[in-house]
Amino acid sequence: MKIDILTLFPEMFKGVTESSIIKNAIEKKLVDVTATDFRPFSTHRQGHVDDYPYGGGAGMLLMAQPLFDAVAHLKKDEVKPRVILLDPAGVPYTQKLAEELAQEEQLIMICGHYEGYDERIREHLVTDEISIGDYILTGGEVGAMAIMDSVVRLLPGALGNDESAITDSFSTGLLEHPHYTRPAEFRGLEVPSILTSGHHANIERWRHEESLRRTAVRRPDLLEVYPLTDEDRAFLKAENLFEAKETNI
């Protein structure tokens, strides 16, 4: 996979690409990540990439020309990349979208600054507009880092155990169940006995029920679309969980 990031601050990505899972994936040649300053693509005589909005208003807008030319420079003839605009008006980012993007050959992410973008960038350049949450950041760099991290870890071989990505929270549709490690007793706090029982079927059922419990308490909205079985519904009712969503249970 090729990930290109268009930003005015490429130095921000140095720590991310030289650490942890992303660094390992780059060294294994599973992904090639390049952060490119798009200012040199400006044809403005002073190298400006922003200008005042037509009609007046506060702030400056990123101009269309530098970004159109920068994206054209990064595109390869044989690949049709996903061109992603990081923007609060974009669709909310989800694990499902991360899994979709992980199947692409090339991602180009545009990190904005200032007040916003020339609308022609949205309408004629990008394929996706993505928001990582309902809050405002200084620029799109943090969002691009989040998307890159979530996508790269899904690439086969990026994690020490590929099954880890499959069982993570949101990948299954539920929040992940509790985890414990040694020692079995710590300051009077014991690991649930079922986890040391050696009965794998019971352990898996316990884990699933704990995922249901945690999701019902912390993110009941996820259960609105999760395909609950009759056994799941019986468990939730027995535990008095998620009573506000009786139509789903």
CA distance 234 to 242: 12
137 is in an annotated binding site: yes
By residue count, the chain amounts to: 249
**Which residue from 131, 110, 106, 107 is spatially nearest to 64, judged by alpha carbons?**
110
- In this prediction, residue 163 carries a pLDDT of 64
The boundaries of every CATH 1.10.1270.20 domain in the chain are 185-245
Active site residues: 88, 115, 153, 168
Per-residue confidence band for 164, with pLDDT thresholds at 50, 70 and 90: low
CA distance 160 to 178: 20
Per-residue confidence band for 170, with pLDDT thresholds at 50, 70 and 90: confident
- In this prediction, residue 108 carries a pLDDT of 98
User: Would the pLDDT of 247 be above 50?
Assistant: no
Which residue's structure tokens are 């600054």? 113
The boundaries of every CATH 3.40.1280.10 domain in the chain are 2-152
Instruction: Report, as an integer, the average pLDDT of 61-65.
Output: 97
- In this prediction, residue 244 carries a pLDDT of 42
Per-residue confidence band for 243, with pLDDT thresholds at 50, 70 and 90: low
CA distance 63 to 78: 27
pLDDT digits (tens, 9 = 90+) for 112-157: 987 899 999 999 999 999 999 999 999 999 999 999 999 999 999 9
Tokens of 22: 């992303």
pLDDT digits (tens, 9 = 90+) for 80-95: 999 999 999 999 999 9
Choice between 27 and 173, residue whose per-residue pLDDT is larger? 27
116 is in an annotated binding site: no
- In this prediction, residue 166 carries a pLDDT of 66
132 is in an annotated binding site: yes
39 by Cβ neighbours in 10 Å (0-12 / 13-18 / 19+) ranks as middle
- In this prediction, residue 113 carries a pLDDT of 84
Per-residue confidence band for 36, with pLDDT thresholds at 50, 70 and 90: very high
Q: Which of 59-73, 82-96, 154-168 has the weakest average pLDDT?
A: 154-168
- In this prediction, residue 127 carries a pLDDT of 98
Superfamily of domain 2-152: SPOUT methyltransferase, trefoil knot domain (3.40.1280.10)
Q: How much of the chain exceeds pLDDT 70, in percent?
A: 94
The single-letter DSSP state of residue 198 is -
135 is in an annotated binding site: yes
- In this prediction, residue 167 carries a pLDDT of 62
157 is in an annotated binding site: no
pLDDT digits (tens, 9 = 90+) for 40-53: 999 998 999 999 99
Domain over 185-245 is classified CATH 1.20.210.10: no
